[in-house]
Structure 1
Amino acid sequence: MSLIDLERPQAPPRISQARSGRLAVGLWALLIVGVFVTGEVLRRAGLATEDDLPPLHAEPRLLTWQMLPAVCVAAVFVAVLPWVAQRLPWRVLLAVSWIAAVVWTVVLSLSDGLDALHRPLDAPTEYPAALDDVRADPLGWVSTFTERLGGYTTHVRGHPPLPTLVLWALEETGLRGTGWSAALIIAVGTSAVLAIAITVRCVADETTARRALPFLVLAPLTLWIATSMDAFFLGVGAWATALIAMAATRASAFAAAGGGLLLGTLPYLSYGLLPLFALPLAVVILTRPKRRLLAIAVCCAAVVPLAFTLAGFWWPDGVAATHETYLISRGSAQRSYAYFVIANLAVLGLLVGPATVHALPSVLAGRRPLAWLIGAALVGVAALDVSGVTRGEVERIWIPYAAWVVLAAGHHRPPARAWLSAQAALAVGLQMLVQSHW
C-alpha cells in the first residue's frame, strides 16, 4: 500500500467535521427561533417571564439609518482585521485589537444616541444610585452590607459589595459621574480581548491566538460590553486567567501574585463568578506551573477575602441574604426554570455567534488546549444554568464565560471573512431590532 493510500482515510473525518458544523448551525438557528416563539407565547399568556422580549431582558424596536456607522465600521474591520492579525508584530497587534474592540463597542452603542454609553448607569436600579450610602462611611457600609441589603438598589442587592466599591474608588480619584464609570467598564471589558489572546498564546501557540483575535473583537457579545458591569467582571476574570498562564510559562512570581490577587476578587464582584475558577484551573492543568508559583497565587488570592472578612462582610452571609431578597422580589425568581434552562442556551448562542457554533464541534472533539479553555467556560455556564442561579438576563451575566467560547471561531482558516461578516451582521441585527436595558 502506498503512502497516498494511507493518507486517503483522513478525508472522511474532515467531511464529518464539516457536516457536524452545518448541523450545529442549523440546530442553533432552530433553538433561537424556538425559544423566542415560545417566550412570546408565554408572555402573552402572562406566564413564566417578566420580560418584554423573552428570553432577552429587552424590548423590540427598529433602527434604520442609525446603524449606518456600525455597518461601515464592520465592513472595514472584516476587511482589515484578518490581514493585521497575520502580519503585525504581536505587541502591536494587541494594541490594535484593543482599539478595534473599543471602537466597535462604542459605535454599536452610539446608534442609541450620544448619551447611550452612560444612560444605563443612570438608572435607579444600578450601582451609582447607591453611592451616597458608601460616601458617608465606606467601612461602615461594608460591615453592615448584609443587614441593610434590602434597602439597596437592585444590582447592589444582587451582588457582593466590591462592584459598588470600585465605582466609589473611581470617584475618589476625582473621576466623578457615570460617564467615567462607563469609560472604566468599556476599557476593562474590551481589554479581555487581549487577556484571552495572551492566555491562548501561553497555553497553545501564537498562531492560534492570532486566528482568534478578529473573532474576539467582532463577537456579538460586544453589544453588552457598554455598559453592563458584567463586562468589568469579564475583564477582571480574563486578566486573572492570563496572569496565571503567564506565571506558569514565564516562571514569573509577579504574574502569579497579580493573577492570584485578581482571582480573589471574583467572588466579591459577583456570586455568579465562582464557576469561572474552572478557567484558571484548566490553565494550571495545561501548563503545570511550579509549586512555588502556585503557592504565591493561592496566598495572594486570599488577600481580598481576608480584607472583606476583617471589614465585617462574611461572604456566606452575603450569599444567603442575596438569595432571600431574590426569592421575595418580583425579579428573576418569578421566571420559569423549565423555560429558561433551555432559553439561556439560545442566548449563549446569540452571544457567541454562528461562526463559533459552526467550529465548536470540531474544536471540542480534539484534545487541544483550546478545547480545555472552551470546555472550562462551558462547564461554568452549565453550573449556573442547571442550578437555576441564572434565569434570564444571561446576555450580560454570561459575558465572562461566553467570551472564552468565542475562541472556537479561531478554528476557521484565515481570513474567514464570510464567518467574520456573519458575526458582525448578527451584532448589527440585534442592535437594530433589540432595545437592551444595558
Structure 2
Amino acid sequence: MANRFRMSEASMGDPPCEATRNSTGHHLTRWLAAWALLVAASFAFGGILRGLGVLPIDHLPPLHAHFRVLTITLLPAAAFGVAAVRVLPGVVARLNFGAALAAAYACALAWTVLLAVSGDGLAAPFTHKEEYLAVLPVVGDDPSRWLAAFTRDLPAYPTHVRGHPPLPVLVLWALNATGLSGPLWAALLVVVVGCSAAVAIALTVRRLSGEDAARHALPYLALAPASVWIATSMDALFAGVGAWGVALLVCGRDGWRRLACGMVAGVLLGALPYLSYGLVPYLLIPAAVAVVVRLPRLTIVAVLAGAAAVTAAFASAGFLWPAGALATHAQWAADPGAARPYLYFLVADLAALALVSGPATTAGLTQGIPYGVRITVLATLAAVLALDVSGVTRGEVERIWIPYTLWIGLAASFAEGPGGGRAGARRRRAAAGRQDRPPFTSDHRWLASQMVTGLLLQGLIASPW
C-alpha cells in the first residue's frame, strides 16, 4: 500500500516535473553555450593578438603553452579515465567513508600520473633552468643565510623564484636535505600533496553539507581537469597545503584535539602567503568555512596563533613579507609578462578558469548546491575575481588557479542537483520505496565531461608545467 502510494505520487508529479526539467534544460544549455563561447572567443582573440605581435611570449593564449597532438601515448590515461568514470562513483558510494577517501585519492594519483607520462613525463617541468631547483646550489648548506639575503639578491634568481616568496625553495631544500634530491622526487612530492587536496576538500564538504555530499564530490575531485597541471606545478603543492589548512579548521570536534587542529591549520594557512603572493585572497575560503560551521572562539585564537608563529619565524630569520612582495612586484613590472594587455586577460583569465574547471562546473554553478558548499564556492570565486581584477595574474593562470579551481570544481558534482536530469528522475522512480539510495544522484555524463576535458587538455596542449 505504501509502495503504491509512492508510485502514484511519483506518477502524479511527472507532468510538472517534466515541464520543470525542460525549463532547466534550456537554462543549462544557455549557460553551457556561454561557457563554450567564452573559451572559444578567448582563444580566437588571443590568436589575433599574437598575430599582431601583442602577445609574443604566449604561443596559445590565453594559455602559456603550445599546441600539439598526442596519439597512442594518451591511450592508457584514456582507458583509465573511462574505467574510473564507470566504477569510481559506485565504489565511493559503497565503501565506508575512510575507504572511499582512500579509493578517490588512489584514483587521483593514478589519473594525474598517467596524464603526465603521456606527454613529457612527470619530472620534466622541474628540469627547466627557471624553476625552483635551479637555485638550490645558491642556498647551499645555510638556508638561514640565504633567507636573510633573499629580498636583496632577488634579481639574480630564476624566474619562478623571483615571482614567489622563499618558502617553495625551502621546501625543496628540505626534501633535498633528506636525501631525496632531483626533479623526480620534487615532482613526486608535488603530485602526492596536490592530489591529497581531494581528500582534504571532501573532509571539509562532509562537515559543511554532510557525508553524502562529500561522497558525491569525490569522483569529481579525483578526475578534475586541473589534474593536467597538478602534474607537475608547484601550485599543486600550494593547493594541498591550503586544502588541508581548511580541513583542519573543521576536523577537531572537542577539547585539546580542536585546539591542536586549529594550531596546525593556522600554521598551514599562515604559510600560504610565504608560498605564493597570489594566495592571500585564498584566505577568504577558510574565513567562509569558519562562518558556516561557527568556529569556536578558542579555535580561532589557535588558528591565529599558528599563523602568527609562521610570520614570526620568517621575520626572525630576516625575511619580511611586505618587503618581499614589493621586491617581487618590481621584478614583475620589469618582466615581459607585465606588458600583456590587461583588458584581454581580465576576461581571458576567467576563460582559462572555466576551461580548467570543466563544463560540469559551469552547469553546477547554475543549479542547486548545498548551502555550506555554495558559500565556500562563492568565497573562492570572490578570491579569484580579486586576483583577476588586480592585474597581477595576466596569463599563466592555468597553474595559478589550481588551488582555487579545486574548490570551485565542487559545483560540478551537483550539476544536476539532487536527483536532477532525466536519467536521475528514472532512477528516482525506480528506487521508490528503497531506504538506502543516496540523496544525490546523477548519471555519469557530467563526470565523463570532466574526464574528457582533462584528456583534451593533456592531448592538445603542451605546457611547461
CA distance in 1 between counterparts of 2:190 and 2:170 reads 14
* 1:408 and 2:411 correspond: yes
CA distance in 2 between counterparts of 1:201 and 1:118 reads 34
Query: Residue 192 of structure 1 contacts residue 239 of structure 1 at CA under 8 Å; is this kept in 2?
Result: yes
Query: Residue 50 of structure 1 contacts residue 334 of structure 1 at CA under 8 Å; is this kept in 2?
Result: no
Match of 1:430 in 2: 457
**1:373-414 per-position Cα deviation (integer Å, ceiling 9, x unaligned):** 111110110000011120001100010001001101111463
**Equivalent position to 1:97, from 101, 104, 119:** 104
The unaligned stretches of length 5 or more in structure 1 are: none
Structure 1 position 21, deviation (Å): 2.2
**Equivalent position to 2:338, from 315, 333, 340:** 333
Structure 1 position 14, deviation (Å): 5.4
Match of 1:374 in 2: 377
CA distance in 1 between counterparts of 2:194 and 2:379 reads 20
Match of 2:74 in 1: 67
* 1:288 and 2:294 correspond: yes
Query: Residue 261 of structure 1 contacts residue 301 of structure 1 at CA under 8 Å; is this kept in 2?
Result: yes
* 1:262 and 2:263 correspond: no
**Equivalent position to 1:320, from 304, 318, 326:** 326
Match of 1:200 in 2: 205
TM-score of the pair, normalised by structure 2: 0.89
Match of 1:21 in 2: 28
Structure 1 position 31, deviation (Å): 0.8
CA distance in 1 between counterparts of 2:21 and 2:252 reads 36
* 1:388 and 2:391 correspond: yes
Task: Tell me which amino acid in the other structure corresponds to 1:354.
Answer: P
Task: Tell me which amino acid in the other structure corresponds to 1:110.
Answer: V
Query: Residue 158 of structure 1 contacts residue 326 of structure 1 at CA under 8 Å; is this kept in 2?
Result: yes
Task: Tell me which amino acid in the other structure corresponds to 2:454.
Answer: A
**1:83-105 per-position Cα deviation (integer Å, ceiling 9, x unaligned):** 11211110001111111100000
Match of 2:138 in 1: 133
Task: Tell me which amino acid in the other structure corresponds to 2:402.
Answer: I
CA distance in 2 between counterparts of 1:207 and 1:275 reads 29
Q: How does 1:15-414 map to 2 (within 5 A)?
A: 15-48=22-55, 50-113=57-120, 116-247=121-252, 252-330=258-336, 332-363=337-368, 368-412=371-415, 414=441
Q: Which moved more, 1:149-158 or 1:44-53?
A: 44-53
Query: Residue 56 of structure 1 contacts residue 347 of structure 1 at CA under 8 Å; is this kept in 2?
Result: yes
Q: Percent identity?
A: 45
Structure 1 position 136, deviation (Å): 4.0
Match of 2:429 in 1: none
Query: Residue 221 of structure 2 contacts residue 410 of structure 2 at CA under 8 Å; is this kept in 1?
Result: yes
User: Any idea what SS the aligned residue of 2:462 has?
Assistant: strand
CA distance in 1 between counterparts of 2:87 and 2:13 reads 40
Report how many aligned residue pairs link the two structures: 432
Query: Residue 367 of structure 2 contacts residue 415 of structure 2 at CA under 8 Å; is this kept in 1?
Result: no
Query: Residue 282 of structure 2 contacts residue 404 of structure 2 at CA under 8 Å; is this kept in 1?
Result: yes
**1:127-177 per-position Cα deviation (integer Å, ceiling 9, x unaligned):** 000001111421111111101100000000000000000000001111111
Query: Residue 248 of structure 1 contacts residue 289 of structure 1 at CA under 8 Å; is this kept in 2?
Result: no
Match of 2:444 in 1: 417
The unaligned stretches of length 5 or more in structure 2 are: 1-8, 417-440
Structure 1 position 191, deviation (Å): 0.2
CA distance in 2 between counterparts of 1:286 and 1:216 reads 21
Structure 1 position 258, deviation (Å): 1.1
Label 1:301 to 1:14 Cα distance change in 2 as closer, same or farther (>3 A). farther
User: Any idea what SS the aligned residue of 1:420 has?
Assistant: helix
Higher CA-based Rg:
2
User: Any idea what SS the aligned residue of 1:176 has?
Assistant: coil
Task: Tell me which amino acid in the other structure corresponds to 2:294.
Answer: R
CA distance in 1 between counterparts of 2:310 and 2:258 reads 21
